[in-house]
Amino acid sequence: MARRIAIVEDDLAIRENYADALRRQGYDVSGYADRARALEAFRQRLPDLVIIDVGLGDDIEGGYELCRDLRAASPVLPIMFLTARDSELDVISGLRLGADDYLDKTTSLQHLIARVVTLFRRVDALRAPDHAEDVLTVDALKVEQERMRVSWQDQEIPLTVTEFWMVRALVRRPGHVKSRQQLMDEANVVVDLATVTSHIKRIRKKFVAIDADFERIETVHGIGYRWRA
Amino acid sequence: MSLRAQLAAVSLALLLVPLAAWQLLGRLEGVVRDGEERAQQAVAAATARSLRSEPSIRSLPAGAVLYARPLTYRLIPDGYGDEWRSGTPYRQVLSGGRVQAEVELAEADRRLAIWIKVNDVTPVWGDAPPPTPVVGDEYQLGGAANAPQVDQVLLDLGAGSARVTFRVWAAGPGPVRGVPVTPASVFPPPVGVWQRREDGPGYQIEMVASGSQRIDSLGVTVLDASAPAPGAPVIRAGTGAPIALLRYDGELSTQLESLLPPGARAWILHADGWVVARASRLDVGDPYTGVSWIWSLIYRWFLASRFAAPEVRDDTTFRLFGEELEAAQRAPGASVWRPAPGRDDVVVSTATVLSPGYFLLVEQPNAALGRLVAEGLGGLVVTTVVVMAAIALLLLGYATWLSLRVRRLARAADAAVTSPDRIASFPRSGARDEIGDLNRSFSALLTELRDHNAYLQTLADKLSHELHTPLAVVRSSLENLRLSPLPNDAEEYASRAEDGVRRLGAILSAMSEASRLERSIEDTDRERFDLVEVLAGCVAGYRIVHGDRRIRWDTEQAVAPMWGAPELIAQMLDKLVDNALDFSEPEAPVSVVLDRRGNDWQLTVRNRGPLLPAGAEVRIFESLVSHRPAKPAHLGLGLYIVRLIARFHEGDATARNAASGEGVEIQVRLAADPG
């Protein structure tokens, strides 16, 4: 049975474009123009993945409200924000509400699809019984590639998909400098380079929250970042 | 000229107040004087009327007179003029051709002292022959036959109907005695001394005449013996026939005194100024008692109408001069004001005609003027000075207040507009006057400007935000289109459209970068770092990325500690180097230099390329401003970000054309870490 994706987006053209693209990938996509209609439908049955626009017409923060409601309904439901807004604050609020990823509308359909696929794979991996997984271990860092989980000193770090991909890109070749452009490519995002800086900063903070002495992600000024071996 | 100076200049108009007051007071003084003069003329006229009926007035001689003053001192008849010199005003000149004689008379105890001085270039001394008697009591000394052999003086003494003529001559300087022409016993012969003139050619005679009767007429005739040849006319000078002898009259003085108001002094004068009678003394007090000498000085010098020249008139004065006497010759009454000699008082002197050839002169000290000065001038000066000072102070205070307000306004405006893109709040005045209005207009203007600036500053952000959605529509549509096969010609258009979307996306991302940085910069965490390390790393990175370009890095600093955000510095250098590379000629190097400037680090990025137009140095750092033609699309946001970051590090960024004139250098000042 096809996986069901719900797109909550007030702009008809975008909604249909995304829906068409995802349908072509074999997903069962339904679109909703506002929060009320989406909630109505979700009450009947939760989809497998939700893509939410933050601003829903006049309901400026409607996306956040919806995210909160959905997270309350299901703690594991993958939720992805897709928005024209791209300020730090928006990103942080979205993630704090339990969204799994946050993309802006400049992201291409391919990247979107890649993310959707990734999120589903992670859900599957989490559901599946333990099996020999492709695990990358560098010192105290453990990267479970299927489940898209990262642990440091045996404690899980709650990373978004974008952040996970960036960490994985750094860790795959410890000591090698990754430029911001490379990180962006690996994470399947097209943002401006400064956004990469803030992503890295957030990743560092998440590590530091667990290990106050964490200093492995190093800035190489003018070039990029590297994982210090 | 400052506002205060202007008001001070305007307040000079206040000087018109004392000027006007001075004019007014001057006119008032004139009116007071006029009144006083009229009153005194009335007094003089009344006194004159009473006197006219007096017999002693009626008996005053009319016509020409010789005046004999009372002799107030002892006289020794020695032929020398030292006793007479003090009495120069009493000199009476006798007319004559080439010979001129001066006569002066003084009288004491019926003894008449006669002083004669003759101006004669050819004095002839010698014995005079006896005169030739003529018909009647006349005698003839003139005529060709009787030309005098020596210089002679004839003295005619008369008392009542008696009359005797004495001849006086001298063979040399020494005592002389009058020789009567006709025998007479009424008058003993006058005696005296004949001397050479002391002060020129001629001779002088001092004689004393007396008689049993009082001499009441006198004739003095000088016969000059220097006639060149026999037959020439005799030269004579003198009165000819005896004329009346006028003297000071003590009785008349007493009568006059009884007619006078207290404090006044009066004189009865011959038309030539001879004093016939004098009554009372001038009661000159000091009317300015209690008035500061300064007021009387101010009055005398600045306020009073003209004063006549002071005249010495006292008990020993027997001939008076003065403008009032001259004026009285022409008008029935004339008054002048003159300062009392040696005193601060003012005397008004009025002359009026008493009888033909005689005047009555009334003098009275005047206190009214003193009071006017004391009460009017003093009060006026004090009041106007106080009022003027008060008004001037008030004006000055007002001007100071005004200029303070205007200056405060100007300062607030300056403070509010520190740079074109930063407008601080402007204090709003509640004052209801024009300056308040100006303040509010300023405030409104600046608020509007600030709003507009804020709008401009967020324009890029808003634009990028608003354009995101339609761009996403276009992009996703194109991508969907790609997923199904396209006809060949459509393929080309689709790829062009994709290209356009990509470029548009890049522009939007650049626009949002600036606004995002602007919003987040204040929350950026600061850390201690080495600027040299960051810059060197960045330059190394650029050399990898831009392999075909030369990027120089030059500093003498081993370390450059800073307190800030190294990512921002890197971002800033990205923009600077990108900018320099964009505007640089492809072969020319771009140089990055770090220097120490006092407490700051100075980062200079220099490129060779098109110059900045004049005036663009400041604006270049504003959002969406670009001045140089560049090959790639240049939004003008890079340098805006540079300045944001420089200011975050307590510095600033400036741009200028390089001294070599070949390109542009952008200098960024960054505060060094003091710790």
Per mean pLDDT, which range of B127-136, B174-183, B436-445, B631-640 is the poorest? Answer: B127-136
* Helix A12-24 vs helix A109-127: crossing angle, to nearest 10: 60
A-chain CB neighbours of B534 within 8 Å are 221-222
pLDDT at residue B193 greater than cutoff 90: yes
**Cα distances (angstroms) measured from residue A202 to each of A91, B336, B538:** 11, 112, 22
Q: Quote the radius of gyration of chain A (alpha carbons, Å).
A: 18
The whole-number pLDDT of residue A30 equals 93
Are the beta carbons of A86 and B537 separated by less than 8 Å?
Answer: no
* For range B579-596, the mean pLDDT: 86
pLDDT band at B286 (very low <50, low <70, confident <90, very high): low
Which pLDDT score is estimated for B368? 65
Averaged pLDDT, B466-481: 85
**What whole-number distance in Å separates Cα of residue B246 and Cα of residue B248?**
7
- Preferred mutation among A17, A103, A179, A202 to probe B, highest tally of B CBs within 10 A: A17
* Contacts with A192 from chain B: Cβ below 8 Å: 509-510, 512-513
Bridging pattern class, strands B346-355 and B333-339 = antiparallel
The enclosing H or E element of A95 equals helix A88-96
Three-state secondary structure call for residue B502: helix
Instruction: Locate the chain A residue with the closest alpha carbon to B464.
Output: A84
Q: Could A106 and B468 be called an inter-chain contact, meaning their C-beta atoms sit closer than 8 Å?
A: yes
Report residue B235's pLDDT band, with 50, 70 and 90 as the boundaries: low
3-state secondary structure of A28: strand
CA A177, CA B443: separation in Å to the nearest integer?
A: 54
Query: Within an 8 Å CB–CB cutoff, is residue B462 touching chain A?
Result: no
Does the pLDDT of residue B144 top 50, yes or no? no
pLDDT at position B143, please? 38
Longest dimension (CA), chain A: 52
Contact B243, B64 (CB under 8 A): yes
Within 8 A by CB and 6+ apart from A138, the residues are A171, A174, A227, A229
Q: Are strands B202-209 and B179-180 parallel, antiparallel or unpaired?
A: unpaired
Determine contact: A132 vs chain B, CB below 8 A.
Answer: no
B479 contacts on A by Cβ (under 8 Å): 17, 21, 108-110
Contacts of A94 (CB under 8 A, 6+ apart): A54, A63, A64, A67, A81, A83, A102
Residue pairs between chains A and B whose CB atoms are closer than 8 Å? 100
User: C-alpha angle with apex A103: A102 to A106, nearest 5 degrees?
Assistant: 165
Q: Which residue has the higher pLDDT, B278 or B97?
A: B278
Please check whether residue A56 touches B, CB under 8 A.
no
Q: What is the 3-state secondary structure (H, E, C) of B518-577?
A: HHHHHHCCCEEEEHHHHHHHHHHHHHHHCCCCCEEEEECCCCCEEEECHHHHHHHHHHHH
| Residue B205 pLDDT | 92
CA distance B509 to B276: 127
For the stretch B495-525, pLDDT in tens is 888 888 888 887 777 777 777 777 778 777 7
Local mean pLDDT, 10-residue blocks, chain A (229 residues): 89 90 92 90 91 82 87 85 70 72 80 87 76 76 84 86 86 86 79 74 87 86 82
- Listed range (A9-23, B176-190, B226-240, B589-603) with the worst mean pLDDT: B226-240
Question: What is the separation of C-alpha A123 from the centre of its chain, rounded to a whole number of angstroms?
Answer: 13
**Within an 8 Å CB–CB cutoff, is residue B541 touching chain A?**
yes
For range B463-482, the mean pLDDT:
83
Q: Is there a contact between B505 and A192 if contact means CB atoms under 8 Å apart?
A: no
Q: Using CA coordinates, name the residue in chain B closest to A20.
A: B480
Which of A140-149, B277-286, B308-317 has the weakest average pLDDT? B277-286
Contact A106 B472 (CB under 8 A): yes
Closest chain A C-alpha to B414 CA, distance in angstroms: 35
Cβ of B516 and A11 within 8 Å? no
B544 CB neighbours in chain A (<8 A) are: 223
- The percent of residues in chain B predicted with pLDDT above 70, rounded, is 84
Contact list, A21 vs chain B (CB under 8 Å): 476, 479-480, 483
Of B497, B495, B459, B466, nearest to B636 (Cα)?
B459
Which H helix or E strand runs over B66? Answer: strand B65-70
In terms of pLDDT, which residue wins out, B331 or B534?
A: B534
Find the closest chain A residue to B577 by CA distance.
A222
Residues of A in contact with B537 (CB under 8 A): 220-223
Find the closest chain B residue to A105 by CA distance: B472
Find tokens 């898209």 and name the residue: A148
Q: What pLDDT, in 10s, does the model give residues B163-191?
A: 888 888 888 899 998 888 777 677 888 99
| Best residue in B461, B462, B465, B473 for a mutation probing chain A (most A CBs within 10 Å) | B473
Amino acid at B159: A
Contacts of B476 in chain A (CB under 8 A): 13-14, 17-18, 21, 109
Using a CB–CB cutoff of 8 Å, tell me whether A20 touches chain B. yes
Residue B452 pLDDT > 80: yes
- Residues B439, B428: contact at Cβ < 8 Å? yes
- pLDDT, greater one: A89 or B139: A89
Q: Per the CB < 8 Å rule, is B476 touching A14?
A: yes
Tell me what the mean pLDDT of segment B362-379 comes to: 72
Q: Rounded distance, CA A206 to CA A216, Å?
A: 12
Give B402-407 contacts, CB < 8 A, sequence gap 24+. Answer: B402/B3, B402/B7, B402/B435, B403/B2, B403/B3, B403/B4, B405/B431, B405/B435, B406/B3, B406/B435
B137 band by pLDDT with thresholds 50, 70 and 90: very low
Distance CA A64, CA A87 (A): 15
* Average pLDDT of the residues in B410-437: 77
pLDDT tens for B258-274 read 888 888 889 999 988 89
The span from the CA of B644 to the CA of B622, in Å, is 10
Residue to substitute from B466, B516, B590, interface A, most A β-carbons within 10 A: B516
Give the residue-averaged pLDDT of B184-206. Answer: 87
Q: Which of residues 468-487 of B touch A (CB under 8 A)?
A: 468-469, 471-473, 475-477, 479-480, 483
Say if CB B480 and CB A109 are below 8 A apart: yes
B452 contact partners, CB below 8 Å, separation of at least 6: none
- Residue located via tokens 């529509």: B473
The pLDDT confidence band at residue B113, using thresholds 50, 70 and 90, is very high
Residue B532 at interface with chain A, using a CB cutoff of 8 Å: no
The answer, yes or no, to whether residue B388 has pLDDT greater than 70, is: yes
Question: Across the interface, do A24 and B483 touch by the CB < 8 Å criterion?
Answer: yes
Which pLDDT score, from 0 to 100, does residue B461 have? 67
Q: Which three-class secondary structure state does DSSP give residue B222? A: strand
Facing A219 at nearest CB: one of B477, B510, B566: B566
| pLDDT surpassing 50 at residue B139 | no
| Secondary structure, 3-state, B436-472 | HHHHHHHHHHHHHHHHHHHHHHHHHHHHHHHHHHHHH
What is the average pLDDT score of chain B?
A: 80
Q: Is A87 on the interface with B (CB under 8 A)?
A: yes
E-strand spans in chain A? 4-8, 28-32, 49-52, 79-83, 101-104, 135-138, 141-144, 149-152, 155-157, 178-179, 217-220, 224-227
Distance of CA B418 to the CA centre of its chain: 46
Q: Which two tokens stand for residue A31?
A: 């679109």
What number is the ipTM of this complex? Answer: 0.78
- Say whether pLDDT at B486 is over 60: yes
| pTM, full prediction | 0.50
